[in-house]
Structure 1
Amino acid sequence: MIRRTLERTGGVQWLVNRELIPESLGMLMIHELSGGSVLPEHSLPGAESVTFLLSGKGDWRANGRTWRLTPGEGVFNSPGTRRAFETEHGQDTMLLVVYGGTNDPRDAKPHEAHSAGGGCRISRTADQGSHSPLGEAGGFIDMGVHWLATSQTVGTRSVVVATSTFTPGGSHQLHRHPNADEFFLVLQGGGEHLTKEGPVRLNPGDLAYIPAGEWHGFQTDPGVTTRTVYGYLGAGSLAQAGYELLEEET
């Protein structure tokens, strides 16, 4: 497990890229924009991405369409999507940007006429009941999930983004994903990231990055509700990522 902490930089903070983690199956960054500023129109032909608002407000434009975004909302951009973002005046904005695919997002280029990807607002599909992906897999207590960007909701190929809420007493026992890396960012609350070697403390603004195949879990603090945004890199769904629970020793 690799631990990072969000910082207020007034610009870009890379949490995961191939210089920091050469074997990573995707890339992850925080982009902080001051109120009234503009992220100019650009495209990235070889990579798909999900942009998730952590704070602030603004207007997202993609291929001629505009969406008003507030915290907890976001957009999916398939490869080649022309996209731009303008923050609301007086509202500093922090974006979490998750990249999948083969291109390095730092190679993004200005708008070109032949860019043809499509953007869309990500949905909020509740993961509830025994027929849901996690409901069928098991291994958790008092944890609710909303799937935002998956192959089923918006057609992703190499990235998944979701939010989770652990109510007091909530936990997710040790498990692993053989085919995908996972990122897990605490937005509110806090608790212990679980590993086979022992727990690691996670507070709001802390991110755990878990390489494919590594055992991990989470236990929220007593009496505390913990909210997170998390996802997989290298897969478009939980089924593609794979899900294995660690069998308890008897």
Structure 2
Amino acid sequence: MHAGRGSTATVNIDRLVHNVHEQGFAALDKVGINGQHDQGLVSTLISRDLSGSDDLCVSWGRILPGQHHLCHHHPDASEFYVVLSGTPIVHLGNSTYRAKPGDGIYIPRGTTHGITNDGDETVELIVGVSKPADWQFVPDE
């Protein structure tokens, strides 16, 4: 290893590597403006608490057929989605977009966004947020 290019310190692999199939999923728990419940599942893979990350959070998201991830925004963080399967409607600002597997979608800080799975296939996606934890979720519906 070249000097200044990294560390040869011992790392805790158990803290740095997490597997979605071993961790499982938790239901989204946010509430909308009129008391409606956010829908979908999430498995956090990289975060401040899990990995010691100081700059990002990465999760595996799952939106089942008929579910809607509430439109919301983050005033303090940007976000991205990478669609792995399914063809959800992605709400971005005042536009909608029919996503497909392989799409990378960037959501700038403050932009309203959400997902509707109006299809018969489960939507699987990788979700990243530019903060490791404690970002604000502000419902827009």
TM-score range, shorter chain: 0.7 to 0.9
Instruction: Tell whether 2:42 aligns with 1:145.
Output: yes
Report which structure shows greater RCO (CA 8 Å, sep ≥6). 2
The answer for the alignment partner of 1:245 in structure 2 is: 139
Shift of 1:221: 3.1
Instruction: Tell whether 2:114 aligns with 1:224.
Output: no
**Equivalent residues of 2:63, 2:117 under 8 A apart:** yes
For 1:161-176, list aligned pairs within 5 A: 161-176=58-73
Deviation readout 1:54-104 (Å, 9 max, x if unpaired): xxxxxxxxxxxxxxxxxxxxxxxxxxxxxxxxxxxxxxxxxxxxxxxxxxx
Tell me how far apart the structure 2 counterparts of residues 203 and 221 of structure 1 sit (CA, whole Å). 13
Tell me how far apart the structure 1 counterparts of residues 77 and 113 of structure 2 sit (CA, whole Å). 13
Shift of 1:222: 2.3
Normalising by structure 2, what TM-score?
A: 0.80
Tell me how far apart the structure 1 counterparts of residues 54 and 10 of structure 2 sit (CA, whole Å). 14
For 1:126-141, list aligned pairs within 5 A: 126-128=24-26, 134-135=28-29, 137-139=30-32, 140-141=38-39
Deviation readout 1:179-228 (Å, 9 max, x if unpaired): 11101010011111102312112100001101111110111132221100
**Equivalent residues of 1:123, 1:147 under 8 A apart:** no
- Residue identity matched to 1:158: D
**Equivalent residues of 1:193, 1:200 under 8 A apart:** yes
Shift of 1:117: 7.2
3-state SS, counterpart of residue 125 of structure 2? strand
Tell me how far apart the structure 2 counterparts of residues 178 and 116 of structure 1 sit (CA, whole Å). 36
Normalising by structure 1, what TM-score?
A: 0.47
Instruction: Tell whether 2:9 aligns with 1:116.
Output: yes
3-state SS, counterpart of residue 64 of structure 2? strand
Instruction: Tell whether 2:98 aligns with 1:204.
Output: no
3-state SS, counterpart of residue 67 of structure 2? strand
The one of 77, 80, 83 equivalent to 1:186 is 83
Q: Which has the higher strand share?
A: 1
Unaligned 5+ segments in structure 1 are 1-40, 46-108
The answer for the alignment partner of 1:102 in structure 2 is: none
- Number of matched residues? 131
For 1:29-178, list aligned pairs within 5 A: 109=5, 115-116=8-9, 118=11, 120-124=16-20, 125-128=23-26, 134-135=28-29, 137-139=30-32, 140-141=38-39, 143-178=40-75
**Equivalent residues of 2:86, 2:119 under 8 A apart:** no
Tell me how far apart the structure 2 counterparts of residues 219 and 188 of structure 1 sit (CA, whole Å). 14
